[in-house]
Structure 1
Amino acid sequence: MAVVDSPDLFEPPAPVPRPYPPSKLEIIRTVLRNPLELWGVPSYTLPWIETRFFGRTTVIVNDPNLIRHVLVDNAGNYVMDKVRQLVLRPILRDGLLTAEGGVWRRSRRAMAPVFTPRHARGFARQMLEKSEEFAARYATTDAQGTVRDIAADMTGLTYLILSETLFSGEIATDGDDVAGDVDALLHHMGRIDPLDMLAAPGWIPRLARLRGRHVLRKFRALVRTTMEKRKAAIARDPQSAPRDFLTLLLEVEGPQGLTTEEVEDNILTFIGAGHETTARALAWTFFCVANCPDIRDRMEAEIDAVLDSGADPVDWLERMPLVRSAFEEALRLYPPAPSINRQAVADDRFEAPDGTALDIRKGATILIMPWTLHRHELYWENPRAFDPSRFLPENRERIGRFQYLPFGAGARVCIGATFALQEAVIALAVLMRRYRFDTTAETRPWPVQKLTVQPAGGLPMRVTARAAVSRP
């Protein structure tokens, strides 16, 4: 797709593609500092690139047909990449994001009933209640507004929603503490260490992650306490125990289902990562919308109309197409999971529709990069600009299934995609109904890749009651 310059569109901050290849030393420094700054012009302009990092063949994949080949058509030939697992498994162990083989299949099968679209719609009322509860925290905002770190706030909000919907409020703690703990966990435990890049065995300590161990121990202790309390409640009266995600996991604990450790791993996965991705995307949405007054005005009008009509929150996702589109566009520009890593089990060959072909060697690392794919000049018009109109109903069919991957694709597609979209639209509607979110002189976010794409240093924004905002 041709790139068309449009001075009227807002281009949020992002690294400029490198004009030349980095040296090995630059690769190490950049990966440790911010992997998003590593990618060069070819990554944003070519369908695929074959290169070598530290003696390992790596294929950077952007072509949607090749992505489908790897994730769907020949998925059996591609397993989780070793480097990715070296980073994530110390945190999540056999949680759904990191488990493989039979363990992954058992976990996925156990959780699937909770995350069907029909079941997810049943969480709408709880999502609304927690969003309104959170919005009340801004109630003291006056005509001058209050500056808040929206990145931290959204982590607190999505944690409240996750706690209420999947755990019936039994893991709820102070939102600010959770935001800080999650940030510390991802900052220290979710970063790549030089030993990971060299594929050193996992038993060798990673100095970059040592400082995060106490936070990880804190989260695991929280999970164990939560499990023990629920088990005791079930033992006392099985009928009165909440029928939520936690109970469902505990019911499949045993010889034919999940081990106690696997149940713990999956609970930690959802506590530590399940809400984090939505939180980051919400924060980026508020930032982008604040820089597009016309889009914000139209979103507010759409929200006001739907809420004034008394529509059930179950229907907000379908009745607020612009709000949903703004969130999905933020997901495009700042995909919470910026890379999908695989490794080839055997030699493979991909033949593109245009006749070109790619031979993939056994052991090659495959990098499917939503970060570069979503900003790719072959597949998007004005790829660096914030333009929610791409995702409006009349335009959605132009976006290929494997061109836009905020939730992944194939068998390992994010199980909570519908849950996240519904949660985001409800949260945006509740907060934007009552407040305006504006940038300040200190609002200078820079995207940094940890486990998710985060604004370095937070995202300070001025929150003002809409009733106090002068309108034309």
Structure 2
Amino acid sequence: MDISPEPFEPPAPIPRTVPPSRLQVIRTVLRNPLELWGEPSYTLPWIDTKFFNQRTLIVNDPDLIRYILVENASNYEMSKVRRLILRPILRDGLLTAEGEVWKRSRKAMAPVFTPRHSKGFANQMLAKSQDYALKYEAARDGDQVVDIATDMTELTFEILSETLFSGQVAAETDGFAASVEQLLHRMGRVDPMDILLAPPWVPRLTRIGGKKVMARFHAVVSQTIEGRLSRMRAEPETVPKDFLTLLLQLEGSNGLSRDEIADNILTFIGAGHETTARALAWTFYCVANAPQVREAMEAEIDAVLASGAEPVEWLEKMPHVRAAFEETMRLYPPAPSINRAAIKDDHWVSPSGERVDIPRGVSILIMPWTLHRHALYWDKPRAFMPERFLPENRDKLHRFQYLPFGAGPRICIGATFALQEAVIALAVLMKRYRFDMTAETRPWPVQRLTTQPRGGLPMRVSVR
């Protein structure tokens, strides 16, 4: 008789059973787009629908996703809605650039984020995680309560600053998490004017107040650039050969413009660490509600650290830690939507012979949020079951049913960096401490640019 407990089901919206009215769509998108989706989005391989008179193809079939994002990726550009949301923040940064600008930026940054180069950051990630762990030393005299969502934003920013900018970002860590939160709250949400495809000059009421926080981030970028350029001129032999220097050395007619460099720096400072931070916070929450998972992770962490393994080896030597993080990204994908639009008429034929016509201009919506919880592709899709991602089970997953980092030419350039960072941070913190629920820990996932916990994630820290 199987007496093992049922796996934990973390909070998430229940699929709608009745289609929303137009007014309900606007209200829901303003409040939380994750609450918009109905049962068909979690049960059908694709849905051909209209969204405010814009034909939209909602795609869940992994083979069709592969076709759009990989096999015929050149026919699909970022959708207009996505550009209307993101470009006011990131302009021509890597996440939002198109065409030749994107190609130049991607080519310029690729050497920094190769798996081999990313592994070279492991010792810096370890040192910053160990330094940050000292924040919880007060737990030795009794439990303390922290907002783990805020803490992980601070920690991942410190790691990003140290690894890519040699610790020379012109911003203080204290208060930085609040600035990121304000940026995403003011600027990273869908406005009704975006849904209606109104031109960028039409005011977005939801973004009133966003100019001040954007100015703050632009000032950080400007000061960071000027500080490094001054050092490059005065002490060229002492300048770090990091991401910042690499970008600045590419300025010129055959490389990147100063504005493109600034936009890419803003992308990484303002958003590059945010996806990892959110996934880490959700991981601590899920693990706190799954005692057997936490025990397996702690045993693995203790064994690997006792063996003296170098931090660059931890990603491969800690499969349970990695699996918990990856399963969390399944349930709470850091980037919950991928938006494309067809440039030319296209079509796709499924292995069973069904034809899907994709006319020019049709909006393509690939939702990791619904795909990762889809009844056709996952057993107990709403449950937290990290064993799905253990080495012996990984081959059972279709490459395109799980998209925490996207796929194709625009796959997240920092995927290896993020996985390594997450495993090191989890190992350092879980070796010393336990993070548990409090009476106030009642998170609800909300879509902004990332999947955020509404109201934060208060957790009680105690020494193991």
The answer to whether the Cα contact below 8 Å between 1:153 and 1:176 also exists between their aligned partners in 2 is: no
Give the equivalent residue in structure 2 for 1:208. Answer: 206
Separation in structure 2 between the aligned mates of residue 222 and residue 129 of structure 1, nearest angstrom: 24
Percent identical across equivalent pairs? 68
Q: Partner letter of residue 461 of structure 1?
A: M
Q: Are 1:412 and 2:407 counterparts? A: no
Separation in structure 2 between the aligned mates of residue 7 and residue 292 of structure 1, nearest angstrom: 10
Deviation of 1:175 after TM superposition, in Å, equals: 2.8
The answer to whether the Cα contact below 8 Å between 1:167 and 1:245 also exists between their aligned partners in 2 is: yes
Q: Are 1:127 and 2:122 counterparts? A: no
The answer to whether the Cα contact below 8 Å between 1:50 and 1:57 also exists between their aligned partners in 2 is: yes
Q: 2:191 aligned to 180, 193, 215, which one?
A: 193
Taking a change above 3 Å as real, the CA distance of residues 359 and 377 of structure 1, as seen in their structure-2 partners, is same
Separation in structure 1 between the aligned mates of residue 5 and residue 337 of structure 2, nearest angstrom: 29
Give the equivalent residue in structure 1 for 2:39. Answer: 41
Segments of 5+ residues of structure 2 without an aligned counterpart are none
Task: Map Cα deviations across residues 380-430 of structure 1 (whole Å, 9 max, x no partner).
Answer: 111100000000000111111111000000000000000000000000000
Q: Partner letter of residue 175 of structure 1?
A: T
Q: Secondary structure at the match of 2:117?
A: helix
Q: Secondary structure at the match of 1:50?
A: strand
Task: Map Cα deviations across residues 340-378 of structure 1 (whole Å, 9 max, x no partner).
Answer: 000111211110001111111111100000000000000
Task: Map Cα deviations across residues 120-152 of structure 1 (whole Å, 9 max, x no partner).
Answer: 000000000000010001111136410100000
Separation in structure 2 between the aligned mates of residue 438 and residue 339 of structure 1, nearest angstrom: 30
TM-score (ref. length: structure 2):
0.98
Give the equivalent residue in structure 2 for 1:260. Answer: 258
Q: Partner letter of residue 133 of structure 1?
A: D
Separation in structure 2 between the aligned mates of residue 262 and residue 232 of structure 1, nearest angstrom: 19
Deviation of 1:176 after TM superposition, in Å, equals: 3.9
1:233-382 correspondence to structure 2 within 5 Å: 233-382=231-380
Q: 2:27 aligned to 26, 29, 38, which one?
A: 29
Deviation of 1:172 after TM superposition, in Å, equals: 6.0
The answer to whether the Cα contact below 8 Å between 1:160 and 1:172 also exists between their aligned partners in 2 is: no
Separation in structure 2 between the aligned mates of residue 308 and residue 274 of structure 1, nearest angstrom: 32
Q: Are 1:93 and 2:91 counterparts? A: yes
Give the equivalent residue in structure 2 for 1:445. Answer: 443
Separation in structure 2 between the aligned mates of residue 318 and residue 37 of structure 1, nearest angstrom: 36
Q: Secondary structure at the match of 1:440?
A: coil
Q: Secondary structure at the match of 1:139?
A: helix
The answer to whether the Cα contact below 8 Å between 2:278 and 2:452 also exists between their aligned partners in 1 is: yes
Separation in structure 2 between the aligned mates of residue 163 and residue 143 of structure 1, nearest angstrom: 31
Taking a change above 3 Å as real, the CA distance of residues 365 and 7 of structure 1, as seen in their structure-2 partners, is farther
Give the equivalent residue in structure 2 for 1:60. Answer: 58
Deviation of 1:206 after TM superposition, in Å, equals: 1.0
Q: Partner letter of residue 402 of structure 1?
A: F
The answer to whether the Cα contact below 8 Å between 2:275 and 2:335 also exists between their aligned partners in 1 is: yes
Separation in structure 1 between the aligned mates of residue 27 and residue 236 of structure 2, nearest angstrom: 54
Give the equivalent residue in structure 2 for 1:397. Answer: 395
Segments ≥4 residues shifted beyond 4 Å = none
1:67-78 correspondence to structure 2 within 5 Å: 67-78=65-76
Separation in structure 2 between the aligned mates of residue 242 and residue 144 of structure 1, nearest angstrom: 42
Separation in structure 2 between the aligned mates of residue 211 and residue 301 of structure 1, nearest angstrom: 48
Separation in structure 1 between the aligned mates of residue 278 and residue 295 of structure 2, nearest angstrom: 23
Q: How many residues align?
A: 462
Q: Partner letter of residue 120 of structure 2?
A: G
Q: Secondary structure at the match of 2:186?
A: helix
Deviation of 1:174 after TM superposition, in Å, equals: 3.6
Q: Secondary structure at the match of 2:26?
A: helix
Separation in structure 2 between the aligned mates of residue 410 and residue 114 of structure 1, nearest angstrom: 19
Separation in structure 2 between the aligned mates of residue 64 and residue 143 of structure 1, nearest angstrom: 51
Separation in structure 2 between the aligned mates of residue 21 and residue 7 of structure 1, nearest angstrom: 35
The answer to whether the Cα contact below 8 Å between 1:152 and 1:176 also exists between their aligned partners in 2 is: no
Q: Are 1:20 and 2:24 counterparts? A: no
RMSD, matched Cα: 1.1
The answer to whether the Cα contact below 8 Å between 2:171 and 2:220 also exists between their aligned partners in 1 is: no
Separation in structure 1 between the aligned mates of residue 302 and residue 170 of structure 2, nearest angstrom: 31
Task: Map Cα deviations across residues 306-360 of structure 1 (whole Å, 9 max, x no partner).
Answer: 1111110010000000000000000000000000000111211110001111111
Q: Partner letter of residue 8 of structure 1?
A: E
Deviation of 1:32 after TM superposition, in Å, equals: 0.4
Q: Are 1:435 and 2:433 counterparts? A: yes
Give the equivalent residue in structure 2 for 1:84. Answer: 82
Give the equivalent residue in structure 2 for 1:230. Answer: 228
Separation in structure 2 between the aligned mates of residue 34 and residue 106 of structure 1, nearest angstrom: 35
Deviation of 1:237 after TM superposition, in Å, equals: 2.4
Does 297-306 or 164-173 show the bigger shift? 164-173
Task: Map Cα deviations across residues 229-283 of structure 1 (whole Å, 9 max, x no partner).
Answer: 1011111122210010000000111111000000000000001111000000000
Give the equivalent residue in structure 2 for 1:171. Answer: 169
Task: Map Cα deviations across residues 94-113 of structure 1 (whole Å, 9 max, x no partner).
Answer: 00000000000000000000
The answer to whether the Cα contact below 8 Å between 1:435 and 1:465 also exists between their aligned partners in 2 is: yes
Q: Secondary structure at the match of 1:43?
A: helix
